[in-house]
Amino acid sequence: MSSDLAELPQEAIPRKTTRPVRPGWPEIVVGLLAMIAATALVPFFGPWGLELGPMAYGLVLAAWSGVVGLVGFGVAALLRIRSLAAFSVRRTTWRWMLIGVSGGVAAFAVNGLFSYAIISITGFDANPQGVYYDAANGGVLPLILTFVFLSLFTPIGEEFLFRGVVANALLRYGPVTGVVSSAVIFALFHGINIVLPAAIAVGVIAAELMRRSGSIWPAVAVHTVNNLGLPLYVLFTGAAGPA
* Mean pLDDT, the chain cut into blocks of 10 residues (243 residues total): 44 50 94 96 74 83 92 96 94 98 93 82 72 77 89 96 98 97 96 87 97 98 90 62 43
- In whole angstroms, give the CA distance from residue 216 to residue 114: 26
Q: What's the pLDDT at 1?
A: 47
